[in-house]
Structures are given as C-alpha cells and as structure tokens.
Amino acid sequence: MTAALTACGTQQDGNGNSASKSKQVTMNEKQAAERAEEIVHEAVDGMSPEPTLKRTGLRPLGACVARDDGGAEDRVQYRLTYQLTGVPGSKAKALVRHARDAWVKLGYKFQSSDADWSEAFPSVSMRTEPDDFWMTALTGVVDRAKGEGLAAISVTSPCFARAGGSTAESAALPLRRTQVDERAEHRALDHSSRIYEALRARHAAPRTGEGIGIHEDSEGRYVHHAWSTQPLTEEETVQAMARARTYFEGAGWTVRHVSTGAGEPAIVARNAEDQSVAQVAPSHTGAVRVAVTSPVAPGETEMS
C-alpha cells in the first residue's frame, strides 16, 4: 500500500493550471522535505489515539513522473510516506478522517470528491495551495472480516530541478548486485513484460533515468524498472490505459486510479503475492511511462 503511494505524483488541478506552476517551482530537496514533513504533522497532530509514525517506501528523492508540462526530463520529486502504527486497527478509519478534517481547515483542496465514509476503508486525496504539494490519507486492509485497517499518509512535492546532477546520477546507489537481486530483477522484468503486452504499444528508446536499478533504504532493498512507450495519440492512449487496467484487474492486482486533472488518470497497482508496485501514467509527450518496483523478499537468502 505505502509503496504505491510513493510511486505517483501527478501535478495538475481540475483546471489544468499546475502545468504553468510546475515550470516556476523553485525549491531544493531540504525545502521539499521540510514542507512534506509539515503537511504530515498538520494531519497527525492531535490524533486520538496518538499513532507512531513509521516511515516507509523507497528513497524519497526520485525522478519526476508527473504529467504536468514540457519541463526538463531530469527533474525530481520528493515523496514521503508514513504508516500510522501503534493504534488498534479499528481506529484506522478515524485517523484518515482526522487527517482530512485537518487539511480542510487549512484550506487545502480535494483532488476529486471527498471519501465515501460509509466504506470500511476510505481514502482521501488532496493538494495544498498555493505550493501544490499532493497528499493522500488512506486505510489499507489488515483484516477485512473484522474491518481493521492500517492508516497511512503520503505527500509528494511538485517537480523541481535538482542542483548538482541529473536524476540518473541521483536515482541509483552504487550497490553490489547479488543473486538475490537477480531474482527480484526477474520479477520486475516479468511484470514489465506483461504490462508491455497489455499496452500493445512500441517501446521507446530509454530516457534519462530509465532502465533497471537497485535501491536500498532503512526499510529494505528494491529493484526498480522504468521505461516508456513511443508517443501515442489521445485515442491510442485511452485504449492502452484501458487494456492496462483490464490486465491488472484480471491478474488480481489491487488497482488505484490517480487523477491527472485532465486526460486519462494514471494507474498505480499492487501485486499482493510479491508486493511489487507498478505505475502506468500518460505523459505530456504522448508516451505512456511505466515503472515497476519489486522488493527483495525478506525470506530470500544468498545462494552460496
């Protein structure tokens, strides 16, 4: 659930205005991180019962994947996700509602409609004004029969230029590949192949920052594979995204649609079997961008 949240960061409002904003965003990683933390605490402070914040997800600074404008391809976004732990699973829904209420009081806007609070596991997607950070509070299922969940909050910054190097230089750590990583690579590449077959669109030449890489943080080790299709027409994009949704749903992935404010929504899908997360998102160039992240399974060990 939380990996999926960190994966996506589209940056448009319902009027298509944030494209022009994104070109004007001037911030650095420190400023983005501080603002993201502030937005989380605006939602969490005063919660009862008081949760413990457990940070999750991949490295927070990553390539800009937003469908927002014709900006430089090597921009980055800051993504921050926390699980709200240490509270009964029956309270997860109340924590999400508290976050929603806190953000509404601050004048933040809904990306789409409010959550359906009659549901056992609601989610809320909002954005800040005027700085255009996007955030989500949601309830992941822990025990559906008992109605117990796990609340999480994710915040994604607008795209901005990283000083001192390109996304490709910053995205990958100089990690030694192991046989365990190779097995995770096979999983990620296999998922990518199935998505490619579903989209039925030609593969484009790799862009800066695309390809396969290994990432590691305090929560674990991951393999990430990113690629793009060749530019599609609007009709071809609609059809390709529909085929991707059909594939994910038929293969048993949990699917979320992320509004882009205009055009086709992006897809974020999670594979319950191996915890892989896939993102399929239209871009301003007409290409569909795909990213698959597969964790190295905790039970896997090195082969001698």
% of the chain exceeding 70 in pLDDT: 75
Q: How many CB atoms lie within 10 A of CB 171?
A: 22
pLDDT score at 173? 37
Query: Residue 265: is the preceding peptide bond cis (ω within 30°)?
Result: no
d(CA 84, CA 58): 17
d(CA 296, CA 149): 25
Which helix (H) or strand (E) is 180 found in, with range? helix 179-199
d(CA 192, CA 3): 17
For the stretch 210-262, pLDDT in tens is 888 777 765 677 888 889 999 999 999 999 999 999 999 999 998 888 766 55
pLDDT band at 172 (very low <50, low <70, confident <90, very high): very low
d(CA 186, CA 61): 25
Q: How many CB atoms lie within 10 A of CB 172?
A: 16
pTM of the model: 0.60
